[in-house]
Structure 1
Amino acid sequence: MSEVRISAEPRTDFGKGGARRTRRAGKVPAVVYGHGEKPLHISLPSLELAAAIRKGGANQLIAIEVTDGTRELVIPKDIQRDPLRDEIVHADLLIVRRGETITTDIPVNFVGEAEKGGLVVHDLNTLTVEAEATHIPESIEVSIEGLAIGSQRYVRDVEVPEGIVILSDGDLVLASVSEPRGEAPAEEEAAEGEEAPAAAAAE
């Protein structure tokens, strides 16, 4: 995954009031931490951070360049959003190093169509993997093409690029195909209709 460069500013105005003032200025309060480094409090341009997350998701590599000269390569660890406006209100960013292996969750992208008439149920939407920090894919593709009714696609069936190790239990079901419950056959409806008058007569 390619990295996105974002300029940042050191943040010295803390507390709820400071966070509100940062957001009113069009920025997101954030904390950069990891690798034994002292937590770095910064503010990031809201629009640029939101665009980066939309581009690469929760594992987007971001090269932070702080105005005081500090530079760090990070990935989002925790993104907090306003529940009403869906705007990012705070970000925890984890420092990573090139060549370092990390554990993270990757979204599953289901492709293809199951057997006609089947109802596809997605049991898992992410997989936990171990991967090199700068080579985390945006998603893992899982094919359900031709999957028969009554069949399942398991974690152990997934093929991933070299260098990625799936840590999720291989026996977990990713997707299953069931037969949708339709209307009762005409014969059953007729039988039910005959039983009702008979029951009424007996009463």
Structure 2
Amino acid sequence: MATSYELKASARDRVGKGAARALRREGLLPAVIYGDKQPALPIAVPVKETTLTLHKGGFLTHIGTIEVDGKKHQVIAKDYQLHPVRDDVVHVDFLRVSANTTLTVEIPVHFLNEETCPGIKKGAVLNIVRHTVELIVPANAIPEALEIDLATAQPGDALKISNVNLPSNCQPTITDRDFTIATIAAPAGMKEADDEEAEGEAEA
């Protein structure tokens, strides 16, 4: 299983706000590793390295390795808390994963050929309904992003999940409908012009 980052950590035997403050004074961050039918493991990770890893992007979708007192754990970050004023990371929850683990993950959506999209060239606007899509995926095959090609999109088009080439082992958590991810929204002026043109054709 490919990993995107590695952190060194130490087990911690004290929990609570006082212990957390003491850790932060030492440049460490309280965290916990849980899951995979094993006991939760409270750990301390370095603030600087963890913050850099978070800001690189993909923190909640990339598999990482955390070495705790010489033992390596394959994990994915499931949640993190920020300080309400300073926006510093104050706690991270990591989930143990293996090649057989299935995860529910928010995957970002990327739009291709926006500059050459015929609908946008005609004055329409890309209206993004969902910037991410929640998928059920194997831990060892998490896609970096979902891609939608706008090369042929026209004003009024709705781009749905069926327009995405999903990996065969991934499926959306929404299964009861072909939900919309984005639309090529035509401005009111364009709609009126289209209506007048259609009326003219009908009269002719």
TM over 0.5: yes
Alpha carbons of 1:109 and 1:6: their partners in 2 closer, same or farther (altered >3 Å)? same
What root-mean-square deviation, in Å, do the aligned CA atoms of Structure 1 and Structure 2 show? 2.1
Match of 2:50 in 1: 49
**CA distance in 1: counterparts of 2:14 and 2:61, whole angstroms:** 28
Greater Rg, structure 1 or structure 2? 1
Q: TM-score, normalised by structure 2?
A: 0.80
Q: TM-score, normalised by structure 1?
A: 0.80
Out of 95, 118, 121, the position equivalent to 2:124 is 118
Match of 1:192 in 2: none
Task: Compute the displacement of 1:181 (Å).
Answer: 4.6
Contact 1:9-1:66 within 8 A present in 2 as well: yes
Unaligned runs of 5+ in 2: 193-204
Match of 2:164 in 1: 158
For 1:24-79, what per-residue CA distance to the aligned partner results, in whole angstroms no more than 9, with x for missing partners? 22222101100121110001112222232324331121111112x33211101111
Contact 1:127-1:168 within 8 A present in 2 as well: no
Q: Percent identity?
A: 32
Match of 1:172 in 2: 179
Unaligned runs of 5+ in 1: 186-203
Amino acid at match of 2:161: V
**CA distance in 2: counterparts of 1:83 and 1:144, whole angstroms:** 39
Match of 2:104 in 1: 103
Match of 1:25 in 2: 26
Contact 2:3-2:65 within 8 A present in 1 as well: no
Task: Compute the displacement of 1:6 (Å).
Answer: 0.9
Match of 2:12 in 1: 11
Q: Give the length in aligned residue pairs.
A: 182
Match of 2:60 in 1: 58
